[in-house]
Chains A and B, each alone.
Chain A
Amino acid sequence: QSALTQPPSASGSPGQSVTISCTGTSSDVGGYNYVSWYQQHPGKAPKLIIYEVSKRPSGVPDRFSGSKSGNTASLTVSGLQAEDEADYYCNSYAGSNTVVFGGGTKLTVL
């Protein structure tokens, strides 16, 4: 069970859109529609922002959206705001009752 692959960093200016990728295999991301995304600010617990590839929990702005193609899932943040600056992690069901996380992406709002 290997960690999912995310770019270490991403950036964008306020108002722009940025997309973060999460690449796995056919045994995890590609095999199930159970990819979730989390936002983590420094010193805080992660917060669920996307689940089951593209669903948003109540209270999460629709600026956050998720998608998947093959073995790669993506998180898009539209209309970037200063408060979006945080670490983002993807997570996928990996079969055999296990889950796996990505290595995380640090999003910088320029």
Chain B
Amino acid sequence: QVQLQESGPGLVKPSETLSLTCTVSGGSIGNSYWSWIRQPAGKGLEWIGRVYSSGSSNYNPSLKSRVTMSVDTSNNQFSLKLTSVTAADTAVYYCAKALARQGGFDYWGQGTLVTVSS
């Protein structure tokens, strides 16, 4: 049974960089697509982007200029960096595994709240 766990600072200052890591256990990070998805309080889900185990990545066009994702296969982890954050980036951030290249997320982390505030 694959398990995912997000980790990282819960508070980030405006204009700084949000950095999160997702640790995968119970399975290999290889040969799968791994995504970051966020949810502001009381609002819907927003796909941020994904990284393949080879390191190739794709991002939501609305966030592309500020997002970088990477994978660390030796530690079974993948990461998210979101630059120049504002209060609008305050949300619960989930990491998730995709069933296939075209999406369908079958395993999710529990989510981690990141607040952007000075």
Contacts and interface: CB of A to CB of B under 8 A. Distances in A.
Contact of B104 (A45, A48, A97, A100): A48
A104 interface: yes
Interface string A83-102: 00000010111001111111
Nearest to A1: B61
A97 B101 contact: yes
Interface string B76-118: 0000000000000000001000011111111011110000000
Contacts of A3: 44
Interface residues of B, number: 26
Interface of B is mostly: strand
Contact of B108 (A45, A52, A99): A45
Nearest to B59: A98
17 contacts: A36-B103, A36-B104, A38-B105, A45-B94, A47-B108, A48-B99, A51-B106, A91-B104, A92-B103, A96-B58, A97-B101, A98-B58, A99-B35, A99-B47, A100-B47, A101-B46, A104-B43
